[in-house]
A and B are shown apart, each in its own frame.
Chain A
Amino acid sequence: MSDLLLELEGLSRRFGAVKALDDVTARVPPGAIGLLGPNGAGKTTLLKILIGLLAPTSGAARILGRDVRRESLRIRQDLGFLPETDAFVLGLDAVRLVSLAGMIAGMPRRQALRRTHEVLSTLGLEEARYRKLDGYSTGMKQRLKLAQALVHDPPLLILDEPTDGLDPRGRADMLRTISGLVRSGGKSLILSSHLLRDVEELCDWILVLNEGKLVWSGRIDDLRSPRESRFRVSCLSGEARLREALAREGCELLDETRNGGLRICAPSGWDGARFFRIAGEAGAVIRELGPDRESLDQLFERLVRGG
């Protein structure tokens, strides 16, 4: 079996004239993967191809070393899927739904029931487990969707917008739960979310899609690692003189930060000491100096806009 969690080779999917996925190629190691992209980027199409619900028009995809075209049953055996939309059998209570999920996954009836009670109580649904699903709140539904994905203890979780519709507390709870499953439980994760903070909190690798094309695949840290030549500087005094001095030394002023500082692109090889020396010579006093790290939102914007 391959050591990679995900291998995509020229993966494409068309719906008539629309290219939902366009020649996507990536190799991703096991761990927590975030799938990012604006609406219509092809995230859900990719997820459905990986689960085997949709066939690619061309190209190949392997997940956990298995080919999505030929081994979709084995793939679904090894994963738990939390869909974005409600996917329940109305009329059932939580125990019947989750145990049904376990039995369809192949668990014997008694073991599925026992495991269902364990999973529901660990996800905080113990008291509502015999209540009809029609009366569940959004948060309870999200936890129930996670429960039915977890019941057969799969090594991989594929979660499509797991915090969608949750209040801040519910979102924090859900993220902690998923984090526990990944970090303590040793599960791999593919998380599709439009909430960049969720991805930032849970994932160490991201795939960014835009208009069906892959625009980035790599570790978040690599993408966000301080770009060596970019700094943020704020001054107690003499900011104008520092600007002039830096410009003379070949620095480029990118823009001003929200709290009045400067974003500077310096020639390669510069370090903090050089800024302090130039400030001292120019009669300016630096209050704060540091690498110019991008937030995930800025990264996302930059990638999607091709910056």
Chain B
Amino acid sequence: MAEAAGAASARAWEGRLRPVRLRWIPIAREGLRLLAQRKLFWPLYLLCLLNFLFNFAVIYLAAHVAVQQEMIAKMAGRFLENYLRGGEGGPYYHFIMSQAFMVMLILALAGSGIIGGDRRQGALLFYLSKPIARFDYILAKFAIVFFVGSLVTTVPALVLFLEHGLLSPTWEYLLSNADLIGAIIAYGSLISAALGLAMLALSSLLQRTAAIVAAWAAIFIFSPAIHAFVREGAPESLRYIDLWFSLRSIGGLLFGVRRQGSPEICAAIIAGVAIASVFVLARTVRAVEVSR
């Protein structure tokens, strides 16, 4: 081995290094590959797409089947009505909001080990002893959860929008509702970013998968339940306990549908969660464990 090592050192590498600002990309790419290798990921992703497939089929039906037929209209229910009316952001708002719950589920799998696992296994030291800043590492991990979130929200919603437009007899739908593309991207990104950051913060803070999933469930399942429980006779402001309420409110604003609550307060709550998450990440993502 010694002779070989001498030979290796003689073959010096003299290539050009890439700029520092792009070095988060290989970390994100490898993280996504690792995620795709997990057996549970693909079944869960398919589960996340069930709602999309249903909507996809409904739009197809609306375009190809005699919509007057009462039975089909009944089957398709409100989805069909929404799409048939067209020109409204309602269907996409409802679609993304229902997908947000699936984002929560898939992030529980994808995100729970993402920084916590690195801390537990010592991989944080592997990454941070390389020529990147802590920010690059966090950016790479954020890119992973954001990408996964967008695959469940933004991408299928855009496909539905395009499907609806392309199956329409004219270009009218696409042209007159082009602003919905922006709303879909903005709302899908907001949900992916807010939930993704919260999951990264929990993952870095708690490390153990079981604890992370429990805390995750407490935030996104029990907070609406608590809100519902105390709603009777409680002050109106208590509804802001439920993070979903704020997300729904901002979604309503973006898609121009009926909404509750003050958008300013809801935006402040979401921003607060994001800032708190970044603060936690900045505190916990270190390659040095200080024991006192």
Interface residues of A (CB under 8 A from B): 15-16, 18, 48, 51, 53-54, 73-74, 76-77, 81, 83, 85-92, 96-97, 100-101, 103-109, 111, 115, 118-119, 121-124, 148, 150, 152-153, 173, 176-181, 184-187
Contact = CB atoms under 8 A, between A and B. Distances in A.
Interface residues on chain B, size class: 35 or more
A15 B34 contact: no
A81 B189 CA distance: 37
A16 B290 CA distance: 10
Interface in B21-52: 23, 26-27, 30, 34, 37
B288 interface: yes
Contacts of B11: 118
Contacts of B121: 86, 88-90
Contact of A103 (B26, B123, B126): B26
A115 B286 contact: no
B5 A180 contact: yes
A53 B126 CA distance: 11
Given A150-B8, A185-B10, A107 B286 contact: no
Interface string B130-172: 1111000000000000000000000000000000000000000
A181 B2 CA distance: 8
10 contacts: A54-B288, A77-B17, A88-B123, A89-B126, A104-B26, A105-B17, A106-B17, A111-B13, A153-B13, A179-B2
A173 B1 contact: yes
Contacts, number: 146
B30 A88 contact: no
A53 B2 contact: no
Nearest to A99: B26
B71 interface: no
A106 B128 contact: no
Contact of A180 (B9, B20, B118): B9
A88 B126 CA distance: 6
B127 interface: yes
B180 to A, nearest CB: 38
Contacts of A115: 13
A106 B20 contact: yes
Contacts of A53: 125, 128-129, 286-288
Given A15-B290, A73-B132, A122-B7, 4 more contacts: A87-B126, A108-B18, A123-B1, A176-B5
B123 A177 contact: no
B258 interface: no
B131 A185 contact: no
B292 A15 contact: yes
Quick one: which of B1, B3, B23, B37 has the most chain A CB within 10 A?
Answer: B1
A45 to B, nearest CB: 9
Nearest to A101: B130
Contacts of B18: 106-108
B122 interface: yes
Contact of B130 (A105, A123, A186): A105
